[in-house]
Amino acid sequence: MNKGKLFVISGPSGAGKSTVITRLLKQLSNVYFSISATTREPRRGERDGVDYHFIGKEEFEKLIKDDQLLEYAEFVGNYYGTPAIPVDEKLNAGYDVILDIETKGAEQVMSKRPDAISIFIFPGSFEILEQRLRLRGTDSEEKILGRLAQAKIECQKAEMYDYIIINDRFETACDEVTSIITAEKCKTAGRLHLLSE
């Protein structure tokens, strides 16, 4: 059986990454979303073990020490990281795996897994981004300003990604991401064996 493909999706927080990912998980089969560990507090409606594994700082630092994370980063005062074992289990079982991670973590994944396919999602403009962060109504003013400052830094890293999606129209953005995943799965290297079987 072919191994699955690893997709890294980044973009400023508020770019609409999670909404796009939720949609494509419904549209595509055999795709697994990697559930990150984080030390940030759950937002209203978020569920432990579904949206994130919400853990304490000490527990997170133990994961780092025990080399259990494929990557991790500190983002606006909290740790975020990708547990390595579930990602490899799913890839080996033939599932495609999607990581929704910020740019420092994405750099680590790209250097450890050069075959990973990377997609950067931008909201269309910084004004739209600010509106979305404020509408979400979950972060303090300080956190919103921190996320906006971080967004500018992250956009400077967009050039290291394989693909850029402008999410000013949700449907188009979803179609584009779905097309990228579909096209990557049709690549000759992963299909040639089917002709000789």
Instruction: Please tell me whether residue 102 binds ligand 5GP under the rule CB under 6 A.
Output: yes
Ranges within 34-63 binding ligand 5GP (CB under 6 A): 36, 40
Min dist CB 50 to ligand 5GP, Å, is 13
Instruction: Please tell me whether residue 132 binds ligand 5GP under the rule CB under 6 A.
Output: no
Instruction: Please tell me whether residue 100 binds ligand 5GP under the rule CB under 6 A.
Output: yes
CA proximity to 105, closest of 177, 56, 152, 37 = 37
Integer Cα distance of 188 and 191 in angstroms: 5
Instruction: Please tell me whether residue 107 binds ligand 5GP under the rule CB under 6 A.
Output: no
Residues 6 or more apart whose Cβ sits within 8 Å of residue 19:
170
Residue 38 or 180 having the CB closest to ligand 5GP: 38
111, with CB counted inside 10 A (0-12, 13-18, 19+), is exposed
Longest dimension (CA), the chain: 59
Q: Footprint of ligand 5GP on this chain (CB under 6 A)? A: 13, 36, 40, 71-73, 75, 80-82, 100-102, 105
